[in-house]
Amino acid sequence: MAIRLSLYNFYLADFSDLSSGEFYASLLMGFRVDMITLFTFSSLFILALLFVKNPKRRAVIALVWAMVLNTIFVLSFSDVLYYDYIHRHMSSEIFNLGDDADIIVGMAFGSMLPFTLGAIILSGTFFYTIYKVFLQELVHFILGKKLIFLTLITLLTLFIGIRNSFAGKSFGSADAYAVNKVSSGNLALNGFFTIYRTAKTSSKHTLTKLDDAIKITQEAMQTPNAPFLDKEYPLLRSYAKKEKPKYNVVIVLLESFGAEHVDGFTHYKELNVTPYFKKLSNEGLKFTNFYSNGYRSIFGITSVFTGITIPTGFEYLGKGLELSNLSYLGQVAKNNGYSTLSMQAANNRSYRVDAVSHLAGFDAYYGADDMPNIEACDEGRAPLTGTYDFNMLDFYHKKLNAMKEPFLGFAFTDSTHSDFYLPSKKFERYPHDLKNYNGSLNAYIYADNSIERFMESVKKEPWFERTIFIFTSDHGSGDALNEIARAYRPDDKALDSIEHFRIPLIIYAPKIFEPQEITTLGSHNDIFPSLVDLLGWEANITTMGSSLFDKNIHERFAYFFAGDLIGLVTNDGYVKYNFKNIVEQVGSEANVEKMKKLLFAIDTAEAGLLEKNRWAK
């Protein structure tokens, strides 16, 4: 409960929509969640201690029990720190964090060092105390009929504590919402509960019949410009070859560039941390109604490469999603005569982007280990994890120069990921903080400067006029700048949580496109089909997105995944669903019902076709 109240006080804005009654109801629900968690993982130890009298054996049992309880505590408190990045609890993604071990270790012994040392000291003290207490000789030990009676009472108590529900099904994370608000569920749940409840996720994607789901999804996505091809692969669409110039494509995926904090895209007063990015947006096609399909970098990469929102319970690309037949951006580009290149500023194996890039059809891949450190750094400012953004962008520039045209390049930045290590103090306009508010602002300033140096240099290349540059973000940055940003809002209320999914999209080619601000609704999933359409590629592909340039799409949407939540944004509003209830909605009652029906169809169709390997040929 102390951890829960810490979460509440750390992120007050996230819970501002709860009335006093809803707050206390959520705390009571949280008590139930904690009871289930502790009873589930303590029951065997409690029962064992009823029957063991030997002090040494009791001490060993108690020590193992203490290790389990300590793990629960450490993960639950870590969850409070993790919450700052995605504004929800940890879930099954923790089982994939081995792919990000370098980042986690760097943070644990960097900005999080006080917490790491505190956890080590408290854990050691806890283990020692428990061992000494249970090593004492017992004065009284219950035997005979009294032991049988005590065992029965203990079993009943444990059963009630673990079950915590007299309904047909056991208590799940969706039951933790005291009221149908995301904030209520976030307050009631604890990180350890959400982790072990998603450790083995059963299929939830039966919100409607698969055949009906496919039909509804097809109706929303239908367009004469990309007809559906095959009843066996019902969402597979055909793009006919068009005689268009073979423009080069240069994609830059920016780490944590949430639109709510980026100049030119924010809905509150600009902080002037990305002035060059704003200038680019005003000189290109500026998409202001664009969303991520998930909340982690690899989810964004998966969506850009394949046009898929990862369904709840599914692994991402490189961890199992590829077991189904998918459409891949790099492969389609190669089939249409393009040379391809992929890279990231993080370490080579981070997020397994090396393997993912080869899967997606990119001929060459590079990571931080391959990139020289040419960034002018103050003394002692060499990159600690990955490499600085300009190191990668300069390397990107040199590799693009060596590529045969037409080419498609993809690059993913890193410097705006916590911990916010920067090459020079000259970028620290605010008192620097490795982890949070001021640090992220300074990191935006540095990233913007890196983009400026990259773009101003490539403008001198002969291939520049024949190239389309695409800048977007892997995911939003949450409300990471809430304390600073609130001062610039017209009121003291937090932004709608959907803002945490809104990201910028710039398509920049001043010799090809006239500058324009575009409000067309879109998401990561639309980038792949947009390129196919824009460049006139011949392709049969399946994506959960459509071309942003196709004016004949029946209904546009952005379908996203956030742990135990799925959601849908349309031009009529948005909904979030926790596989039990709609927990957040914006729109009229009729539109909410319409969005709910479409969300259920999209989720069922995507998951069902991937499971049956009927997604793509």
What are all long-range contacts of 486-492, with beta carbons under 8 Å and residues at least 24 apart?
486/13, 488/268, 488/269, 488/271, 489/268, 489/269, 490/268
In-domain check, residue 460 = yes
In-domain check, residue 236 = no
Same domain membership, residue 266 and residue 147: no
In-domain check, residue 521 = yes
Same domain membership, residue 192 and residue 257: no
Residue 173 structure tokens? 């994370």
3-state secondary structure of 131: helix
| Residue pointed to by tokens 């982007």 | 353
In the chain, pLDDT over 90 holds for what percent of residues? 70
- A 10 A CB-CB count for 168 gives 5
Whole-number pLDDT of residue 490? 52
Alpha helix segments (H runs only) across 52-112: 55-86, 101-108
CA atoms within 13 A on the CB side of 8: 18
Whole-number pLDDT of residue 67? 97
Same domain membership, residue 474 and residue 334: yes
- A 10 A CB-CB count for 460 gives 7
Same domain membership, residue 146 and residue 287: no
Same domain membership, residue 400 and residue 265: yes
Same domain membership, residue 147 and residue 11: yes
Whole-number pLDDT of residue 199? 64
In-domain check, residue 59 = yes
In-domain check, residue 38 = yes
Of the three residues 158, 179, 197, the one that is the final residue of a domain is 197
DSSP letters, 168-214, are: SS---GGGG-SSSSHHHHHHH--HHHHHHHSTTPPP---SS-HHHHH
| Residue pointed to by tokens 């957040």 | 584
User: What secondary structure letter does DSSP report for 573?
Assistant: E
Residue 311 structure tokens? 């369904």
| Residue pointed to by tokens 């050691």 | 124
In-domain check, residue 613 = no
Alpha helix segments (H runs only) across 500-548: 527-535
Of the three residues 197, 216, 237, the one that is the final residue of a domain is 197
- Measured CA distances, 547 to 79, 225, 251, 278, 589 (Å): 38, 10, 16, 24, 29
How many residues are present in the chain? 617
In-domain check, residue 16 = yes
Radius of gyration of the chain (CA): 26
Percent composition of the chain: helix, strand, coil (DSSP 3-state, to 5): 50, 10, 40
Same domain membership, residue 301 and residue 154: no
φ, ψ for residue 252, nearest 5 deg: -125, 115
Same domain membership, residue 457 and residue 393: yes
Whole-number pLDDT of residue 104? 72
In-domain check, residue 329 = yes
**Chain centre distance of CA 61:** 39
pLDDT tens per residue, range 6-47: 999 988 888 988 999 999 999 999 999 999 999 999 999 999
Same domain membership, residue 305 and residue 169: no
pLDDT tens per residue, range 142-161: 899 999 999 999 999 999 99
For the chain, the farthest-separated pair of C-alpha atoms sits apart, in whole angstroms, at 91
- Measured CA distances, 608 to 12, 135, 202, 233, 613 (Å): 39, 55, 13, 11, 8
φ, ψ for residue 546, nearest 5 deg: -135, 165
Nearest to 475 by CA among 104, 102, 86, 99: 86
pLDDT tens per residue, range 73-103: 999 998 888 887 767 787 766 766 665 666 6
Whole-number pLDDT of residue 484? 52
**Which domain CATH number covers 355?**
3.40.720.10
- Measured CA distances, 576 to 266, 315, 443, 532, 544 (Å): 22, 21, 31, 30, 18
pTM of the model: 0.82
Residue 553 structure tokens? 């799409």
Same domain membership, residue 323 and residue 185: no
Peptide bond before residue 419 is cis, with ω within 30 degrees of 0: yes
Give me the number of domains the chain comprises: 2
User: What secondary structure letter does DSSP report for 240?
Assistant: -
The answer to whether 505 and 472 are in contact (CB under 8 A) is yes
Residues 6+ away with beta carbon under 8 Å from 97:
104
Whole-number pLDDT of residue 480? 47
- Enclosing domain of residue 543: 249-551
Of the three residues 551, 573, 601, the one that is the final residue of a domain is 551
| Residue pointed to by tokens 């690899």 | 298
Same domain membership, residue 258 and residue 155: no
Low-confidence ranges of the chain (pLDDT < 70): 86, 92-93, 95-103, 166-169, 174, 198-203, 478-495
Same domain membership, residue 84 and residue 18: yes
CA distance 457 to 447: 16
Residues 6+ away with beta carbon under 8 Å from 5:
none
